[in-house]
């Protein structure tokens, strides 16, 4: 049974603003499990790559296309997210990928303004009928580089992107013009809060200048009718088996016990 049901007002807000913040999408126990497991997960750390900003600061990202029997997959499969995505995108969705972004204290890098569809367009997805949900693993603030979005920017459609350091960023001339008319929203979140955002919503984040880490789990979804016309690094359409929301805690407790049994301090 899903622990969250999207309201008519929230549906309208997402389509008007291009994003929707949901406080406490995950409860304290689930969030505590996610944080403890992620910070102790040596396989997650080993699989993380580096992305530098133009100042040389670094953010680590661990990206996975496949789902397993772990808490990250349980979050990606859970009804409160999958059902919400299908309502927002008005179609069956499938898991495109999920990733943990890790901004460490004082060194975690910034992200340039970009649209996710600015990347995914080149993967063979014909339509921007895609979205992501970012779950706060740590507290996300202005000081440690929380997500920023430009309200209503998804209505622009896809804009051109180019390379900036290790990243791909949006055409800044158009972004600057847009910012004359649209506001930047800082999505400050407590652990367990989440923000759903459209694939054409322009977003960025600042470097982490604080003594506190800022980790987030981002789960990305594509729609069935938008099955990519070519094979790329992320998967084509496949049926997504959704799990009851209770599985997040069940899988998390099992994962935590396995870490302890293997001698990892958590």
CA 56, CA 58: separation in Å to the nearest integer? 6
In a domain, 94, yes or no: yes
In a domain, 174, yes or no: yes
Q: Give the count of domains, the chain.
A: 1
CB distance 53 to 205 below 8 Å? no
Dihedral sign of CA atoms 80, 86, 88, 89 in order: positive
In a domain, 50, yes or no: yes
DSSP 8-state code for residue 202: -
pLDDT digits (tens), the chain, 266 positions: 678 999 999 999 999 999 999 999 999 999 999 999 999 999 999 999 998 888 888 999 999 999 999 999 999 999 999 999 999 999 999 999 999 999 999 999 999 999 999 999 999 999 999 999 999 999 999 999 999 999 999 999 999 998 877 788 999 999 999 999 999 999 999 999 999 999 999 999 999 999 999 999 999 999 999 999 999 999 999 999 999 999 999 999 999 999 999 999 78
* Angle (nearest 5°) at CA 81 between 184 and 28: 85
Instruction: State whether residue 177 is helix, strand or coil.
Output: helix
What is the structure's pLDDT at 18?
98
**Residue whose tokens read 């896809």:** 158
What is the structure's pLDDT at 54?
85
In a domain, 1, yes or no: no
In a domain, 183, yes or no: yes
The DSSP code sequence of 2-36 is -S----HHHHHHHHHHSEEEETTSS-HHHHHHHHH
CATH number assigned to the domain comprising residue 83: 2.60.120.620
How many C-beta atoms lie closer than 10 Å to residue 143's C-beta? 15
Residue 12 CA: distances (Å) to CA of 37, 89, 154: 35, 12, 14
In a domain, 109, yes or no: yes
What is the structure's pLDDT at 33?
98
Residues 6+ positions from 28 with CB-CB distance below 8 Å: 192
What is the structure's pLDDT at 168?
82
Longest dimension (CA), the chain: 55
What is the structure's pLDDT at 51?
86
Domain span at 76: 8-261
DSSP 8-state code for residue 54: T
Strand partners, 53: none
In a domain, 2, yes or no: no
In a domain, 188, yes or no: yes
What is the structure's pLDDT at 1?
64
Instruction: State whether residue 193 is helix, strand or coil.
Output: coil
């Amino acid at each position: 049974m899903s622990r969250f049901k999207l309201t008519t007002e929230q549906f309208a807000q997402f389509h008007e603003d291009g994003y929707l913040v949901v406080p406490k999408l995950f409860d304290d126990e689930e969030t505590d499990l996610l944080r403890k497991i992620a910070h102790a997960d040596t396989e997650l750390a080993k699989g993380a790559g580096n992305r530098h900003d133009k100042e040389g600061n670094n953010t680590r990202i661990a990206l996975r296309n496949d789902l397993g029997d772990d808490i990250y997959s349980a979050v990606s499969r859970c009804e409160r997210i999958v059902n919400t995505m299908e309502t927002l995108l008005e179609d069956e969705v499938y898991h495109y990928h999920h990733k943990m972004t890790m901004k460490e204290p004082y060194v975690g890098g910034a992200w340039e303004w970009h649209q996710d569809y600015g990347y995914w367009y080149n993967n063979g997805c014909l339509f921007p009928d895609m979205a992501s949900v970012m779950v706060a693993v740590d507290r996300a603030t202005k000081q440690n580089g929380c997500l920023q979005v430009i309200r209503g920017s998804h209505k622009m459609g896809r804009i051109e992107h180019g390379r900036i350091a290790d990243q791909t960023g949006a055409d800044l001339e158009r972004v600057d013009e847009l910012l004359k008319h649209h506001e930047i929203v800082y999505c400050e979140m407590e652990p367990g809060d989440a923000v759903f955002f459209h694939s054409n919503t322009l977003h960025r984040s600042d470097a982490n200048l604080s003594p506190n880490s800022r980790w987030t789990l981002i789960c990305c979804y594509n729609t069935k009718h938008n099955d990519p016309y070519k094979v790329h690094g992320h998967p084509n359409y496949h049926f997504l088996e959704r799990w009851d929301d209770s599985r997040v805690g069940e899988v998390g407790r099992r994962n935590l016990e396995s870490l302890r049994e293997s001698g990892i301090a958590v």
